[in-house]
Structure 1
Amino acid sequence: MGLTVMMFTALGLCWGSNFIYMKLAADFTSPAQMTLLRVCCGFVPLVLVAWWRGALKRAQLRLLPHFLVMALLATAFYYFAIAKGTERLPSAVAGVLGGTIALFTTLASLVFLRSQRPSTAMLWGVLLGFAGVVVLIAPWQDGAAPLDKQGVFWMLGAAALFGGSYVYVCRFLAPHGLPALALVTWQMGLALVLLLLVTDTSGMGELLVHPRALAGVTFGLGFLGTGMAFLLYYALLERLGAVASAAATYLTPAVALVIGWANGEVVGPRELAAAGVILLGIALMQQGRDRSKVR
């Protein structure tokens, strides 16, 4: 049990700290270059563990078109959108908005998957979660510096895209009984190839003279925050199941808020209230899903 708690905490820290790594590197590299480095460094531990465990099979090549879709939408473009949004927003705010993935995943499931029957608690949870987003954006505020609208759009768009990818997996990949480790390794490797083909790498050497930013984006964001985070998540899946493992997403906004505050960002009552409302919505939504499964 102690090891499980440590893994759970480590996963929350990995996910929640990703936003400050992106923020620190944003001044020295473009979002596309940051995405390339992140995917490259995250792919390394995944492919090594997948090879060691024998998760990759030649027969899986028949699913290559689906892997390409996931690589493009749920990896390459998703990470690029996150980088674009974090570049324009405080890392704490980006972390809170990044925590809405659970809301979009549930919303997409209810709309596109016939097997998902919405309960009253799930619907209220989704509404409450998005109310928290409105509180965070605070469009009614006058005088105070507003959040960058494009940054908010990129973050919510990324969360919606990732949430929609869950539906794609359920429809086209889940029926094949593919191990989760194999899926994420394929999509990460193909995303790396796509990014190598389209990313302008000129000027990336600027990171070499900024070792803190370089270490953050390669080791922190890539190796730990992407590769190792995926491995921790799948290890928790085996130990606890999907519902309990997904609860690690609750830690992401809280960790991002604390790290952002420690880094000098303004974290006031509005940010804290918004994060609390979003997390309450996710918890209510999850409770409704659990009850519907029992029935």
Structure 2
Amino acid sequence: MPFAVATGALHWRDWHHAHHFLVMALLATDFYYIAFAKGTALLLSSVAGMLSGAIPLFTFVTAAAFLREEPLNIRSIGGTLLGFLGVLLIARPWSQDIGTVNVAGVLWMVAGSFSVGCSFVYARKFISPLGLPPLALTTYQIGLALAILLATTDLGGIMQVFGDIRAALGLIVGLGFLGTGVAYILYYLIVDRLGAVAASSVTYIPPVVALVIGAVLAGEPVQAVDVLAMATILVGVGVLQSGRTIAKSREG
């Protein structure tokens, strides 16, 4: 916020659009963060990360319903179905060993993915036309999100994280400055320039990173079906994107 104020990015007149900032605070910050935190606590980090790969699929479905510039075709539908198949392979609801994957954790991750996936479309449809700078949009969104979380979250024991300097630095620099501040400035920039579905494609990276980090650094077990599930999600998103490209070329 100090940087946004210093650069003159914030204006009182922007608050005529406060209802849009509130929706973005809920979709792209509050519920998304809570759902991912709960899901990650119940799952291996690799599995949680792979489930986040479903974000572009939810973006596509929402865009197809609410954005005219995101047309449906066979490839797009097929890519969406492949992506959901990947999610099912991770959840494995048919497995006799119900302890293999925590279904509640999967549902939390899917809910979070759906929330942030919808946010790309909302930002494209309602936020981009406002013409406000990404720095201002990020400040309004995160400011409202913070106020909501402070009013609804039990903060008991929160200071314990600062007892570990590495955890504190990771929280402030990693999650706060880079993972939230810088990330959302880029979020609004690419949504405005590339569109909802294309912008959501940046979320292809976390599933791969999570799988590698989980296996290499955390020593988490990775089964062949997990790799297959991740590949299925990424192939589904790739097919989805190719369908979108073909549709645009035909329009041109």
TM normalised by structure 2 equals: 0.87
Q: Within 5 Å, which residues of 2 pair with 1:62-141?
A: 62-141=16-95
Cα deviation code 1:72-92 (max 9, x no counterpart)? 232112111111111111111
> What is the distance in 2 between the residues matched to 1:272 and 1:111?
31
Q: What is the aligned partner in structure 1 of residue 127 from structure 2?
A: 173
Among the aligned pairs, what percent are the same residue? Answer: 44
Where does 1:94-243 land on structure 2 (aligned, <5 Å)? 94-143=48-97, 145-233=99-187, 241=194
Q: What's the CA shift for 1:174?
A: 3.3
Q: Does 1:279 align with 2:231?
A: no
1:225 to partner: Cα distance: 1.8
Q: CA deviation at 1:209?
A: 2.9
| Superposition map of 1:11-30 within 5 A | none
1:165 Cα deviation after fit: 2.4
Regions of 4+ moved over 6 Å: 235-238
AA aligned to 1:172 is: F
Counterparts in 2 of 1:167 and 1:144: CA distance versus 1, 3 Å:
closer
**8 Å Cα contact 2:27/2:118 also seen in 1:** no
d(CA) in 1 for partners of 2:162, 2:242:
47
8 Å CA contact 2:56–2:117 kept in 1: the answer is: yes
Q: What secondary structure is seen at the aligned counterpart in 2 of 1:99?
A: helix
Cα gap change, 1:143/1:200 in structure 2, threshold over 3 Å: closer, same or farther?
Answer: closer
**What is the rounded CA distance, in whole Å, between the counterparts of 2:183 and 2:117 in structure 1?**
18
What is the deviation of 1:291? 1.8
1:268 to 219, 223, 227: 223
| Contact 2:90/2:226 (8 A) holds in 1 | yes
Residue of structure 1 in register with 2:247 after alignment: 292
Identify unmatched segments of 5+ residues in structure 2. Answer: none
Residues 48 and 259 of structure 1, relative CA distance in 2, 3 Å threshold: farther
Deviations 1:29-49 (A, max 9, x none): xxxxxxxxxxxxxxxxxx355
Shift of 1:133: 0.7
Shift of 1:157: 0.5
Structure 1 residues 233 and 117 mapped into 2: Cα distance closer, same or farther (>3 Å)? Answer: closer
Q: How many residues align?
A: 248
**Secondary structure of the structure 1 residue equivalent to 2:121:** helix
Q: Following TM superposition, by how much is the alpha carbon of 1:273 offset from its aligned partner in structure 2, in angstroms?
A: 0.9
Residue by residue over 1:158-184, the C-alpha shift from the partner in whole angstroms, topping out at 9 and shown as x without a partner, is 111122223333443333233333222
The answer on whether the counterparts of 2:36 and 2:112 sit within 8 Å (CA) in structure 1 is: yes
Which secondary structure does the structure 1 equivalent of 2:119 belong to? Answer: helix
CA distance in 1, matches of 2:136, 2:119: 16
- Quote the offset at 1:117 in angstroms: 1.9
Please give the root-mean-square deviation of Cα atoms over the aligned residues, in Å. 2.4
- Helix, strand or coil for the counterpart of 2:221? coil
User: Are 2:52 and 2:113, in contact at CA under 8 Å, matched by a contact in 1?
Assistant: yes
Task: Supply the distance in 1 between the matched residues of 2:134 and 2:247 (Cα, whole angstroms).
Answer: 24
Q: Structure 1 counterpart of 2:184, which letter? A: F
